[in-house]
Amino acid sequence: MKPAAFDYLAADSLDAAAAALSRAGGDGKVLAGGQSLMPMLNFRLVRPSILIDINRIPGLAYIEATDNAVRVGALTRHHAIETSPVVKAHLPVLTAAMQHVAHLAIRNRGTIGGSLSHADPAAELPMMALLLDARIAIQSYGGRRTEQARDFFVGSLATSLGEDEIVTDVEFPRLAPGTGWAFEEVARRSGDFALAAVGVTISVRDGKADQVRIGMMGVGETPLRAPQAEALLSGRTVDGALLDEAVASVRSVVEPNSDLHASGEYRRHLVGVLARRAIETAWRRAIGDLQ
Amino acid sequence: MSAGKTIRVTVNSVIYERTVEPRLLLSDFLRQELALTGTHVGCEHGVCGACTIIVNGDSVRACLMLAVQADGATVETVEGLGSIHKLNPLQKAFQEQHALQCGFCTPGMLMTVTDLLRKYPLATDEDIREGLSGNLCRCTGYEHIVRAVRTLVRQTEGTP
Ligand SMILES: Cc1cc2nc3c(=O)[nH]c(=O)nc-3n(C[C@H](O)[C@H](O)[C@H](O)COP(=O)(O)OP(=O)(O)OC[C@H]3O[C@@H](n4cnc5c(N)ncnc54)[C@H](O)[C@@H]3O)c2cc1C
Ligand code: FES
Ligand code: FES
């Protein structure tokens, strides 16, 4: 229950961190909030030769509204996102999702860059990045690139990040004013990882659902979108019969695993229940029937 | 073994300088290097909350931070809250409401509530329970802990 020995570097710039990571040749690990990495070190599930601590790099923790997006620095703590007025104004669904992330002491340390890089299939931030079509900015010793969230998550605890790459910021396109949204989650206890959760955003055009997005987590190897159900809802008025169709569609595309906490069948059932609630709530918000 | 690093940490207003191995957990640093054994260690993976302390004003799991990361930091532990002869209001509320039995979880509970009170209104029992959800207690059934926090919140509201 104690980590194996490693070297430690408190990087003072992204360039220094990227250089050290590149020198480590796959044997180094970035240390951000430590809320996933430290347990893995304590269990000796990972044994890096060097930890590159990015906590002292200035200017890596911020939330700023640009003309059409909200940019969040990789080192921004969960608690800062949870309580940010900028996020609440432009991405209320993200504020709602953050209420479900762990406990205060974990939210005080855990970072968005760490959560996306760790890519737990039952974590809220990766699902929000996928739902909101976020763009992830990445730096390595060799240069910079960006990646869409939909291409970033490739498996359970697996991303497209190279071993010498560092996430620097995440850009979420703002929701248009009046967009309906909802986030529904079930966990065994408050703050635990979700058994399943569903996030939805919907706009209305001429009384019909438009730009429908449905994100799901806890029911696959990665967070998922439900493109069939999104298409089904688009251009239609949401009513009981349509909700039934959407729920059936969502249940038919997921293949949840069974584990200690819940069977796959239960998770499939649950994701349908949560999808129904979330679609209905988002729709009611979109048509102005609910605050 | 990797090279030791010299760190300076202020714990409960006392400055300590020590040379430590990078892999030393902050929880072990407090307990073994500084003999501040009030910070308890239950699970060492962030789940039980027993090791919760306050670093630079925020509650954190001491088992999920390295001692070297606390270089230059200001740390508050349960030893800094009050003394046996002069309990602080939160400790007093725990005592009066019987919010502890074996006491293993208590330091983490106290440090968690200290931070919660600074950051959230804790207006309802549901808010209090939500706030305490990351701290496990095997003895009390939580009822008396919630009561202690509720009593304290009401008292503080009553004072101008
Ligand atoms: C008890 C407990 C309950 C939790 N419950 C939840 C929950 O309900 N929902 C939830 O979403 N999460 C939960 N978490 C996890 C928490 O959100 C973590 O903060 C998060 O998963 C990782 O972020 P971090 O900053 O702590 O990353 P770290 O632990 O520092 O790092 C995680 C991984 O990402 C890499 N990494 C970190 N930052 C970067 C970067 N900028 N670029 C590239 N790689 C990077 C690290 O090398 C490591 O491999 C919980 C954790 C605990 C201990
Ligand atoms: S010992 Fe740190 S949370 Fe359990
Ligand atoms: S009082 Fe014994 S664990 Fe809480």
Portion of chain A with pLDDT greater than 70, in percent: 100
Q: Are A161 and A138 in contact (CB under 8 A)?
A: yes
Q: Cα separation of A263 and A275, whole Å?
A: 18
Q: Which residues of chain B make contact with A109, given a CB cutoff of 8 A?
A: 58, 60-61, 64-65
Instruction: List, for residues A101-118, the tens digit of each pLDDT value.
Output: 999 999 999 999 999 999
Give domain B89-157's CATH architecture: Orthogonal Bundle (1.10)
Among A135, A156, A173, residue at a domain's last position: A173
> Which whole number is the average pLDDT over B15-33?
98
Has residue A160 got a pLDDT over 60?
Answer: yes
Q: What average pLDDT is seen over chain A?
A: 97
Please indicate, yes or no, if residue A2 is contained in any of the structural domains.
no
Q: Where are the beta strands (DSSP E) in chain B?
A: 5-11, 14-20, 52-55, 58-61, 74-76
Q: Which residues of chain A make contact with B69, given a CB cutoff of 8 A?
A: 10, 31, 34, 53, 55
pLDDT value at position A238? 97
> Residue A134 sits in a domain of what CATH number?
3.30.465.10
Ligand 2: centre distance to CA A107 (Å): 15
> Residue A49 sits in a domain of what CATH number?
3.30.43.10
Q: Are A166 and A138 in contact (CB under 8 A)?
A: yes
Residue A73 and residue A35 in one domain: no
R_g over Cα of chain B: 16
Q: How far is B133 from chain A (nearest CA, A)?
A: 6
Mutate: best of A29, A41, A56, A104, partner B, most B CBs <10 A: A104
Instruction: List, for residues B28-70, the tens digit of each pLDDT value.
Output: 999 999 999 999 999 999 999 999 999 999 999 999 999 999 9
The label of the residue with tokens 């740390």 reads B75
Q: What are phi and psi of A273, to 5 degrees?
A: -60, -45
Residue A162 and residue A210 in one domain: no
pLDDT value at position A291? 73
pLDDT value at position B2? 67
Q: How far is B130 from chain A (nearest CA, A)?
A: 6
Closest ligand to the CA of A30 = 1
Residue A162 and residue A72 in one domain: yes
Domain count, chain A: 3
pLDDT value at position B156? 82
Q: What are phi and psi of A216, to 5 degrees?
A: -135, 150
Nearest to A105 among B2, B44, B59 (CB): B59
- Residue A1's pLDDT band (cuts 50, 70, 90): confident
Please indicate, yes or no, if residue A58 is contained in any of the structural domains.
no
Q: Are A153 and A120 in contact (CB under 8 A)?
A: no
Q: Residue A180 pairs with which residues in a beta bridge?
A: A202
Residue A269 and residue A247 in one domain: yes
Q: Determine the atom of ligand 2 nearest the C-alpha atom of B48.
A: 4
Please indicate, yes or no, if residue A291 is contained in any of the structural domains.
no
Q: Are A43 and A37 in contact (CB under 8 A)?
A: no
pLDDT value at position B158? 66
Q: Which residues of chain B make contact with A106, given a CB cutoff of 8 A?
A: 46, 61, 134
Q: What average pLDDT is seen over chain B?
A: 96
Residue A280 and residue A207 in one domain: yes
Q: Where are the beta strands (DSSP E) in chain A?
A: 7-10, 28-31, 50-53, 63-65, 69-73, 135-140, 143-148, 153-155, 158-159, 166-173, 180-186, 196-205, 208-217, 224-225
Q: Are A51 and A42 in contact (CB under 8 A)?
A: no
Instruction: List, for residues A6-18, the tens digit of each pLDDT value.
Output: 999 999 999 999 9
Q: Are A2 and A42 in contact (CB under 8 A)?
A: yes
> Which whole number is the average pLDDT over A199-211?
96
CA contacts within 13 A on the Cβ side of A20: 23
pLDDT value at position A290? 85
Domain B5-80 has what CATH class? Answer: alpha beta
> Which whole number is the average pLDDT over B11-31?
98
Q: Cα separation of A173 and A143, whole Å?
A: 24
> Which whole number is the average pLDDT over A174-194?
94
> Residue A250 sits in a domain of what CATH number?
3.30.390.50
pLDDT value at position A111? 98
Q: Where are the domains of chain B?
A: 5-80, 89-157
Instruction: List, for residues B56-105, the tens digit of each pLDDT value.
Output: 999 999 999 999 999 999 999 999 999 999 999 999 999 999 999 999 99
CB contact under 8 A, A108 and B60: yes
Pairing of strands A143-148, A153-155: unpaired
| Six token digits for residue A118 | 């760790």
Residue A260 and residue A196 in one domain: yes
Ligand 1: centre distance to CA B98 (Å): 36
Q: How far is A206 from chain B (nearest CA, A)?
A: 40
Q: Residue B159 pairs with which residues in a beta bridge?
A: none
Residue A163 and residue A76 in one domain: yes
Domain housing A38:
7-53
Q: What are phi and psi of B139, to 5 degrees?
A: -105, -55
pLDDT value at position B155? 87
Instruction: List, for residues A57-72, the tens digit of each pLDDT value.
Output: 999 999 999 999 999 9
Residue A105 and residue A42 in one domain: no
Q: Cα separation of B121 and B118, whole Å?
A: 8
Residue A11 and residue A89 in one domain: no
DSSP B6-51: EEEEEETTEEEEEEE-TT-BHHHIIIIIS--TTS--S-SSSSS-TT
- Residue A31's pLDDT band (cuts 50, 70, 90): very high
Nearest to A105 among B1, B3, B60 (CB): B60
Chain B interface with A: residues with Cβ < 8 Å:
1-3, 5, 21-23, 25, 28, 44-46, 49, 52, 58-61, 63-66, 68-69, 71, 112, 115-116, 119, 129-131, 133-135
Instruction: List, for residues A67-91, the tens digit of each pLDDT value.
Output: 999 999 999 999 999 999 999 999 9
Please indicate, yes or no, if residue A28 is contained in any of the structural domains.
yes
Residue A74 and residue A163 in one domain: yes
Helices B89-96/B143-158 angle, 10° precision: 130
Ligand 2: centre distance to CA A207 (Å): 52
Please indicate, yes or no, if residue A81 is contained in any of the structural domains.
yes
Has residue B159 got a pLDDT over 80?
Answer: no
Helices B125-132/B143-158 angle, 10° precision: 120
Q: Which chain A residue has the Cα nearest residue B62?
A: A105
Please indicate, yes or no, if residue A78 is contained in any of the structural domains.
yes
Chain A interface with B: residues with Cβ < 8 Å:
1-8, 10, 31, 34-35, 38-39, 41-43, 51, 53, 55, 79, 102-106, 108-109, 189-191
Residue A165 and residue A219 in one domain: no
Residue A185 and residue A104 in one domain: no
